[in-house]
């Protein structure tokens, strides 16, 4: 039913609000005199300004005399009348604000300023009274905790070692960022997470702004079937059969390429169309990757990475909340992280703007020696819902299938035992150095410091063996 908010009904709103100070205060947050009929705008503005200045509502005679209007005190206002007034006034305010936004959008549309139009429309649609009073902490602890467990729901990453650091996994409505240098495996981690979640029945959407759809899908072929990428075409029939069988038991996994420079609005439009055409909602959104997106409406220089990434990160997180889905993306580490084995906030390209907005930030560390051993390490740079900051998780990487999995149990124990003070995986590939100080001989000053590494000791041992043979 389309409501007609004419002069008489608007006049009744003012009369009832003027008669009940409590209801007026509750509605004051959305009270806008400019939304009223022109004949009532002066009275509405006068009432609002009077209440702000004197902290009390004016009397009817004061309003009528000051604004040349005829407002009358209604009869006794009961609780049901108050509830009706609040519902009606909220609906009236939203309707009129949307109407004003549409009218004011005409000039902006001619200038192709679509971002500003969207902001105006969104602000109008979101107008509402604060009816949710929050959570009474002491009232019902069990229900409160079960609500977190059942509804918010930590969803396992598919890597138990990481789940333990995150108190169960990742939550819907959160922004998760995997940060790594060029070629560190950011896209591989996103694809592996997509496979993990699809295999447990979740609907996954992978949006790639860098790699082609076919390349991403080919990598996923190797991950799901175990067939190395170099052998996929040779074993094409086998791969096809395995993918089809796995697909019947899994959730959806959609891969879509988008050119770099897109905005979160472009992502939102595609997702809406996808959900309409496919008839299913998104549980997981993977965006590869954040640095290639642009802000919606802000004209930001591409050189100003801090501001650009701040807006994009905030918009992505808002999208995750809006979709009530897990959102995982990737970000680039800067040049300062190239020679480092321990990452911190200064190594993120764009600086703290991403860190401050994201719920979880993971640094991806690997090296040539680690790749040869089939190892990756995840460093928890920020966690909002757990105490895992600064901790590390070592994972196994299959070079042929590109699959990232937990380490075997025996290696997990060894890794966890050494990761408290630092990663055993990193320590195992470092050179151990022994420092010796020479004692002064015959009063000679300035003792020298001699450093010996394991390779030097080995060379001396071989030389000694050679000398002994000659003797």
Examine the domain organization and report whether 365 and 447 are in the same domain.
no
pTM, entire model: 0.65
**What's the rounded Cα separation, in Å, for the pair 396 and 374?**
6
Examine the domain organization and report whether 338 and 407 are in the same domain.
yes
Range of 7-16, 174-183, 332-341 with top mean pLDDT? 7-16
Domain-located, residue 140: no
Examine the domain organization and report whether 26 and 43 are in the same domain.
yes
Examine the domain organization and report whether 285 and 403 are in the same domain.
yes
Examine the domain organization and report whether 225 and 351 are in the same domain.
yes
Of 103, 125, 147, the last residue of a domain is 125
Domain-located, residue 135: no
The CA R_g of the chain, rounded to the nearest whole Å, is 32
Examine the domain organization and report whether 458 and 319 are in the same domain.
no
Taking the CB of residue 451, how many other CB atoms lie within 10 A of it?
Answer: 9
Domain-located, residue 152: no
Domain CATH number, residue 169:
3.40.50.300
Residue numbers of the domain that contains 396: 157-429
Examine the domain organization and report whether 262 and 374 are in the same domain.
yes
pLDDT, tens digit, 9 for 90 and up, residues 318-329: 999 999 999 999
**What's the rounded Cα separation, in Å, for the pair 288 and 112?**
28
Range of 88-92, 293-297, 340-344 with top mean pLDDT? 88-92
Both structure tokens of 126? 């979101």
Domain-located, residue 132: no
Q: What is the mean pLDDT of residues 374-390?
A: 83
Examine the domain organization and report whether 192 and 309 are in the same domain.
yes
pLDDT, tens digit, 9 for 90 and up, residues 59-84: 999 999 999 999 999 988 888 898 99
Examine the domain organization and report whether 224 and 283 are in the same domain.
yes
What strands lie across the sheet with 392-397, from one edge to the other?
A: 253-257, 204-208, 284-288, 326-332, 175-180, 360-365, 375-383, 392-397, 404-406
Q: What is the mean pLDDT of residues 185-210?
A: 93
Domain-located, residue 226: yes
Examine the domain organization and report whether 400 and 440 are in the same domain.
no
Examine the domain organization and report whether 169 and 204 are in the same domain.
yes
Examine the domain organization and report whether 61 and 180 are in the same domain.
no
Total count of domains within the chain: 3
Residue spans of beta strands (DSSP E) within 289-391: 326-332, 360-365, 375-383
Q: Higher-confidence residue: 339 or 161?
A: 161
> Residue 261: its pLDDT value, please?
84
Least-confidence region, from 148-162, 165-179, 330-344: 330-344
Q: What is the mean pLDDT of residues 37-53?
A: 94
């Amino acid at each position: 039913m389309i409501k007609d908010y004419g002069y008489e009904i608007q006049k009744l709103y003012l009369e009832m609000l003027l008669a009940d100070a409590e209801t007026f205060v509750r509605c004051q947050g959305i009270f806008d005199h400019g939304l009223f009929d022109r004949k009532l705008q002066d009275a509405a503005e006068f009432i609002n300004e009077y209440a702000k200045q004197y902290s009390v509502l004016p009397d009817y005679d004061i309003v009528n005399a000051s604004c040349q209007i005829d407002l009358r005190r209604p009869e006794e206002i009961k609780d049901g009348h108050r509830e009706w007034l609040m519902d009606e006034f909220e609906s009236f305010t939203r309707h009129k604000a949307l109407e004003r936004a549409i009218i004011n959008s005409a000039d902006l549309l001619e200038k192709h300023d679509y971002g500003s139009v969207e902001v105006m429309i969104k602000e109008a649609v979101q107008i509402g009274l604060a009816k949710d009073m929050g959570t009474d902490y002491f009232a019902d602890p069990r229900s409160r905790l079960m609500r977190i467990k059942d509804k918010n729901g930590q969803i396992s990453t598919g890597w138990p070692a990481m789940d333990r650091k995150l108190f169960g996994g990742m939550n819907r409505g959160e922004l998760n960022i995997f940060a790594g240098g060029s070629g560190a495996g950011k896209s591989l981690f996103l694809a592996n997470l997509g496979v993990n979640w699809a295999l447990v029945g979740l609907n996954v959407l992978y949006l790639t702004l860098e790699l082609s759809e076919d390349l991403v899908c080919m990598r996923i072929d190797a991950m799901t079937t175990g067939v190395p990428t170099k052998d996929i075409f040779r074993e094409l029939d086998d791969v096809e059969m395995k993918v089809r069988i796995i697909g019947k038991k899994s959730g959806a996994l959609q891969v879509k390429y988008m050119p770099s420079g897109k905005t979160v609005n472009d992502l939102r439009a595609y997702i809406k169309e996808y959900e309409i055409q496919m008839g299913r909602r998104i549980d997981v959104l993977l965006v590869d990757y954040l640095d290639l997106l642009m802000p919606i409406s802000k004209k930001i220089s591409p050189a100003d990475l801090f501001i650009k990434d701040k807006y994009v990160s905030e918009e992505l997180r808002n999208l995750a909340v809006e979709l009530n889905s897990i959102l995982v993306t990737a970000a680039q580490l800067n040049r300062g992280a190239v020679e480092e084995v321990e990452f911190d906030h200064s190594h993120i390209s764009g600086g703290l703007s991403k860190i401050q907005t994201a719920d979880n930030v993971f640094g991806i560390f690997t090296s040539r020696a680690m790749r040869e051993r089939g190892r990756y390490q995840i460093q928890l740079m920020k966690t909002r819902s757990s105490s895992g900051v600064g901790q590390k998780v070592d994972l196994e990487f299959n070079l042929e299938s590109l699959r990232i999995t937990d380490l075997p149990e025996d290696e997990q124990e060894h890794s966890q035992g050494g990761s408290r003070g630092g990663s055993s995986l990193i320590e195992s590939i470092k050179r151990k150095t022994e420092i010796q100080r020479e004692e002064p001989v015959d009063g000679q000053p300035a003792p020298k410091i001699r450093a010996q590494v394991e390779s030097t000791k080995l060379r001396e041992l071989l030389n000694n063996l050679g000398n002994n043979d000659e003797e």
